Amino acid sequence: MTTQARATAAQPTQGAFERSRDHLFHQFQEIPFDPKTGRSPRELEQDIEAYLQAHPDVPRVLQKAHVFHLVVTRGQIYVDPLDWFVGKLNHGGHVKRPLYGDEDSLVRRLSLRWLDEALDGVLAAEATWLDRAYRLGQASGPRGGLDRGHVAPGWYTLLSGGLVGLLTQVAEARDALGPAATAEQLAFYEAVEIVYRATLQLAARFAQQAETLARAYPEHARRLQTIVLACRNVPAHRPRTFHEALQFMWLLHELIEMEGEHVRSMGQFDRTLYPYYRADIDSGRLTRDQAKELIKFFWFKFYSRTRGHENGKNFVFGGQYPDGSEITNELTYLGLEAYEELNTPDPKLSVRFLPTTSDTLYRRVADLIRKGHNAVVLMNDVPAVEALVKRGKTWEDARLYLPIGCYEPAVEGKEVGCTMNLTVNLAKGVELALHDGRDPLSGEQIGPHTGDPRGFTAFEQLWQAYTEQMDFFLERAHECIRTAEGQWPQINPSPLLAGSLDDCLRRGKDVGQGGAHYNSVGFVGAALANASDALLALKQVVYDDERFTLDEVLTAVAANFEGHERMRQYLINRVPKWGNHHPEADRLAKRIADYYCHKVHTFTNGRGGPCQAALFSLDFAWQGGRRTGALPDGRRAYEPLAPGLGATYGRDRKGVTALMGSVTQLDSTLTPNGAVLDVTLHPTAVSGEDGLAAMVALIKAFFAQGGYALQFNIYDVATLRDAQRYPENYATLQIRVTGWSVYFTTLSPYEQDQFIARISHGL
Amino acid sequence: MAYNPEDNALAETEAPGTPRSPEGWVFDVKRFAVHDGPGVRTTVFLKGCSLRCVWCHNPESINPHPELLFHPTRCIACGACLEVCPHGAHRMTTKGARTYDRNLCVLCGRCAASCYAEALVMAGQRLSVEDVMTVVRQDATFYTVSGGGVTLSGGEPLFQGAFATALLRQCNAEGFHTALDTCGHVRWAIMERALPYVDLVLYDLKHISPPRHQQYTGVSNRLILENLRRLSRSSVPIEIRMPIIPTINDSRETIDAAARFLASLSHIIAVRLLAYHRLAGSKYHSLGRENTLPDVTPPSGRQMQRIAGWIRQHGLPVIVPETIDTS
């Protein structure tokens, strides 16, 4: 940029965001695409069909790339004169469907078509098996077992050399292979070139449109000129300014999602963006407040699209560089300030803590959360990094982990994690073990015959049956997933994403072909508390104390405890439960966790990489709960399963330190894919200076004892009841549902009651 | 009950355990106590108190011996208590609700043991020092990280003076910070015996006026104020705790008189105001006792700040509980 251009680059004025907030809130509602700027989605659809018809035998990665090119170079665009960022392309995905969010873009629809084809064809057997498993509550997961929804692009890689830099790498990689390059590899390289060049064309189109608008809206000319200059530089080249860096990320985010993978992590905010921020501040181009305005314009895009109805876009703060030095800097605190002022549940933040992290950051984050900005996950770098190293990452790489989605780490720029490939119901194995492999709710024989448990004379036999049921399920599920992965290149080729990840270009392989440096599949273990509480109840009442026979318990369970309330109360109140720091309960839960993690870690995925275990539940707590029958710990059929790593609702009765005491018995280095504890506290516990210090102490002590990650809900029931009665007074009250937060007043009355019931147990 | 009026405490000959291994009646050991002294603490609640404050929030703490609580919402009407009670104290009404005649009850605890739904619960357990320490040790990391420790409270912890002292001594020995939350109404020698093991005293001051104190707590405050003077001549830091009950002890006159008295003492590190609340009503009900909680509105934040201001004018630091602004 010339000195003159630098001098004229505009910056937002103080309060600019607030003034535009209402307008920006509607930015994704009925976008006024100008027909003069290109072809409508209907017309593009025709173009796409025509292309596909004419090129049926072209490798799919190239078909995808061409379709991408069609949409991106020909589709209508819109530049909003009030916005600091551009990116609105009419790709067919902006139509709202009331319950399901956006329509899929034309490009993504192609992948979905290919997915349907595979599910009906080559993956039919696996899809059927997995569907039944999902239906019966053994697990949940993506259709067909292929996780197309949990990646972090290589933001750092993208920004450092721009797309022109990556195009150079494509050429170099192809040359390096020389005549040994296969047709597949060449097709891949060509596809990457096509999509990257198309992207550059799109940027040029935005620049041109912005220039046109600058003439039409002289009062916005300075901002529009800044956008023009930005789009002429990014994403082609490395950004020259903080604004350009954000613009780069926004555009690529839109395009990668359009291409067909959900972008779940926006990277390490205070690492990726820091050099640009620093340079702007030091040169006087930007003030701290102006930077904050830009962050708000940028972040608000996520919320204005989802309105809090999706899981939130994850931005990471804190953490460390590959050499172990701490990242936390001015941008960390600026980001947290922007987040607080924005007061939306989307984006959501993850903050990584090291043993050397200053008290200032702990206090800042704790204070944010106790004031209600609770879309924050706090992560403990020590076990998180070590867990990844145990699964084959180098220390330097592991330090670059990003939580993908809600909680699950992947190495930035080098890993395709498929982190939510399967969520496994650990409690279902208990049901199956008690019924010789038959699922009691549906009556279907879905597990192996492990014997009539009435014949067992010792707890160890029941344990044996449990692990056999779980082994059988996990092994089958793993096979299905491997098979699905094999079809990935045919279903969802992703050249745009692939170019940003090591080592796809070097190897000439797409993400679906295992081109990335690390390729993982995540197996999430849910309902640990339920499995453990149920097994311990049987151990104690049937085998240790002989208080009831197994037959008596099974009869009660079959009746959903109707007519057996006294026994149910005994099972609930007289048997120790997970989450109370009771040695025997903790030992058994740890035994289950160890078993599960070790089992998962014996698997290799379809792309040759490791499978990684996690322990949490997200919304499977409810989904899976509805498909799990009554359990011997007193839980009735269809009730929710335990949230995250914690106790079953209402069973943790010794307070938060006891809950943490239990959870820190688990080996966090066995959960490379994440493990999160939900903590519910009453506001009085964290009020005042005492309360803030107590909250910080909880976090520090939890981490010092090896805990992996935490999130908080801080409420009293009275406030929530009041919010039900007078929602207009509580429009911005956020609650932490599970891996994401929502505005309480947007929930249905039923959901609100459920949440209140859930948290009043913890108080 | 073996109350020793000279000690204003439990007669030491009646205390459970032995002089070498004293035991005590404890009604709760609460982990993650945040407002009972600095840092994250575990608070041990001892049973027994020589005061009868009308606003008491822990009525189950007054009697040193275990007693029976009944929580009607938990009752599943299984009838087990009827079956096991040797004295027929439990009855079922024609409508299927359970009734209980305390006059027939000998507090044997059999009904509580058989009540799986935990509608009938014995408040108070006999514990040894080691029993308590087993729980205390579990949160050691939290104490270290937060500068916390153990607080003895109740009831009046010194009501079971020997047991309280043994607990404090053991906490000391294991390196845990100790706080003693006391009303001061015991023979000085009992307090003095415990003091070497106390790092912080939380001292309750309910009313500065002797006749008002008698009216609302059943005892004069003479011994309490005397003990406070003696305490302030030792070196242990003291945090004064003043419950603020509107119309009873919140007048300017009362507060000023209390503050004047406190300002004359050394080692008072702070005065903490505690706002009255009426949420403990159900506890009285569970105990089958008359609810003596005054029917007054809890003080507002502004009232509390005003009172704090009056006290600060005497040169004393004041801590007022905050509420979180979530707007």
Is the pLDDT confidence value at B168 over 70?
yes
Query: Is residue B324's pLDDT more than 60?
Result: no
Inter-chain residue contact A655 with B31, CB threshold 8 Å = yes
State residue A363's pLDDT score: 97
Distance from CA of B14 to the nearest CA of A (A): 31
pLDDT tier for residue A14 given thresholds of 50, 70 and 90: confident
Q: What are phi and psi of B219, to 5 degrees?
A: -135, 160
* pLDDT value for A716: 81
**What's the confidence (pLDDT) of residue A139?**
98
pLDDT of residue A761: 57
Per residue in B197-244, pLDDT (tens digit) is 999 999 999 999 999 999 999 999 999 999 999 999 999 999 999 999
Beta bridge partners of B126: B25
CB-nearest to B116 from A566, A658, A698 is A566
Spatial distance between the Cα atoms of A643 and A406, rounded to a whole number of angstroms: 14
**Does residue A9 register a pLDDT over 90?**
no
CA distances from A503 to A111, A166, A169, A249, A412 (A): 23, 12, 11, 21, 12
pLDDT at residue A8 in the model: 52
> For A82-135, how does the pLDDT look when each residue is reduced to its tens digit (9 = 90+)?
999 999 999 988 766 555 556 789 999 999 999 999 999 999 999 999 999 999
What pLDDT was estimated at residue B12?
A: 85
Using CA coordinates, name the residue in chain B closest to A701.
Answer: B142
Residue A762 has pLDDT above 50, yes or no: no
Distances in Å between the Cα of B265 and the Cα atoms of B225, B229, B235, B307 are: 11, 7, 12, 20
Q: Where are the alpha helices (DSSP H) in A395-543?
A: 395-398, 428-434, 459-486, 488-491, 495-498, 504-507, 528-538
Among A570, A657, A687, select the one facing B321 at the smallest CB separation. Answer: A687
User: Minimal Cα–Cα distance from A690 to chain B, Å?
Assistant: 7
Q: Average the pLDDT over A573-587 and give the result.
A: 97
Q: Are B116 and A573 a contacting pair at CB < 8 A?
A: yes
Question: Per-residue pLDDT for A573 more than 60?
Answer: yes
Which chain B positions have a beta carbon within 8 Å of A372's beta carbon?
326
Chain A residue at shortest CA distance from B139: A657
Task: Give the DSSP letter string of A628-664.
Answer: ----TTSPPTTPPPPPTTSPSTT---S-HHHHHHHHT
Which among B78, B139, B324 has the least Cβ separation from residue A565?
B78
Interface check for A113 against chain B (CB to CB < 8 A): the answer is no
Alpha-carbon gap, residue A108 to A101, rounded angstroms: 14
CB < 8 Å to B38, chain A: 690
Residues in chain A with CB shorter than 8 Å from the CB of B118 are 569, 573
Are A657 and B138 a contacting pair at CB < 8 A?
yes
**Smallest CA–CA separation between B82 and chain A, in Å?**
14
Would you state the pLDDT for residue A149?
79
In whole numbers, what is the pLDDT of chain B averaged over residues? 92
Chain A nearest C-alpha distance from B32 (Å) = 6
- Best of B75, B114, B144, B326 to substitute, by most chain A Cβ atoms within 10 angstroms, is B326
> Smallest Cβ distance to B116: which of A569, A686, A687?
A569
Task: Among B31, B34, B138, select the one facing A690 at the smallest CB separation.
Answer: B34
Per-residue confidence at B91, pLDDT binned at 50, 70, 90? confident
Under DSSP, is residue A548 helix (H, G, I), strand (E, B) or coil? coil
pLDDT tens-place string over residues A428-457:
999 999 999 999 999 999 999 999 999 999
pLDDT at residue B323, as a whole number: 52
d(CA A352, nearest CA chain B) in Å: 19
- Note whether B173 contacts A: Cβ–Cβ < 8 A: no
pLDDT recorded at residue B259:
97
Helix H, strand E, coil C: the string for chain B is: CCEECCCCEECHHHCCECCCCEEEEEEEEEEEECCCCCCCEEEEEECCCCCCCCCCCCHHHCCCCCEEEECHHHCCCCCHHHHHCCCCCEEECCCCCEEECHHHCCCCCHHHHHCCCCCEEEECEEEEHHHHHHHHHCCHHHHHHHCCEEEEEECCHHHHHHHHHHHHHHHHHCCCEEEEEECCCCCHHHHHHHHHHCCEEEEECCCCCHHHHHHHHCCCCHHHHHHHHHHHHCCCCEEEEEEECCCCCCCHHHHHHHHHHHHCCCCEEEEEEEECCCCCHHHHHHHCCCCCCCCCCCCCHHHHHHHHHHHHCCCCCEECCCCCCCC
Decide if pLDDT at A563 tops 90.
Answer: yes
**pLDDT tens string A175-201:** 999 999 999 999 999 999 999 999 999
- Report pLDDT for A584: 97
Interfacial A residues in 649-708 facing B (CB < 8 Å): 654-658, 661, 683-688, 690-691, 693-694, 696-698, 700-701, 704-705
- Optimal mutation site among B42, B141, B325, interface A, most CBs of chain A within 10 A: B141
CB contact under 8 A, B142 and A698: yes
Residue B89 has pLDDT above 70, yes or no: yes
Tens of pLDDT, residues A664-698: 999 999 999 999 999 988 888 898 888 999 999 99
- Contact map slice: B 215-234 vs A, CB within 8 A: none
**B105 to chain A, minimum CA–CA distance in Å?**
23
Q: Tell me, what amino acid is at A256?
A: I
Task: Determine which of B29, B40, B118, B274 to mutate to test the interface with A (most A C-beta atoms within 10 Å).
Answer: B40
Facing B145 at nearest CB: one of A687, A688, A704: A704
Chain B 66-85, residues with CB within 8 Å of chain A CB atoms: 76, 78, 80
User: pLDDT class for B96, splitting at 50, 70, 90?
Assistant: low
- Averaged pLDDT for residues A473-497: 96
Contact B74, B52 (CB under 8 A): no
Q: Measured between beta carbons, which residues in chain B are less than 8 angstroms from residue A688?
A: 321-322
Please say if the pLDDT value at position B326 is more than 60.
no
* Percent of chain A's residues with pLDDT above 90: 81
Q: Name the closest residue on chain A to residue B42, using Cα atoms.
A: A657
User: pLDDT tens digits for A229-280?
Assistant: 999 999 999 999 999 999 999 999 999 988 888 888 899 999 999 999 999 9
Beta bridge partners, B98, equal B92
**Quick check: A343 contacting B, CB < 8 Å?**
no
Average pLDDT over residues A371-396: 95
In the predicted structure, residue A338 carries a pLDDT above the cut 60 = yes
CB pairs A-B closer than 8 Å = 94
Q: How confident is the model at residue B1 (pLDDT cuts 50, 70, 90)?
A: low
* Predicted ipTM of the assembly: 0.91
pLDDT, residue A1, reads: 45
Q: What is the pLDDT of residues A716-761, one digit of tens each?
A: 888 888 888 888 777 777 777 776 777 788 778 877 887 787 666 5
DSSP letter, residue A391? T
- Asked whether residue A298 carries a pLDDT value surpassing 90, the answer given is yes
Is any Cβ of chain A less than 8 angstroms from the Cβ of B40?
Answer: yes
In DSSP terms, which residues pair with A436 in a beta bridge? none
Using pLDDT thresholds of 50, 70 and 90, give the confidence band for residue A5: very low
Distance from A580 to chain B by nearest Cα, in Å?
11
pLDDT at site B14: 84
Q: Is B36 on the interface with A (CB under 8 A)?
A: no
Residue window 564-583, chain A: list those with CB within 8 Å of chain B. Answer: 565-567, 569-570, 572-574, 581
Q: Find, in chain B, the residue whose alpha carbon is nearest to that of A583.
A: B138
Chain B partners within 8 Å of A656 (Cβ) = 31-32
Residue A376 has pLDDT above 50, yes or no: yes
Nearest to A569 among B30, B76, B145 (CB): B76
Please tell me the distance in Å from B258's CA to the nearest CA on chain A: 25
| Residue contact B34–A685, C-beta within 8 A | yes
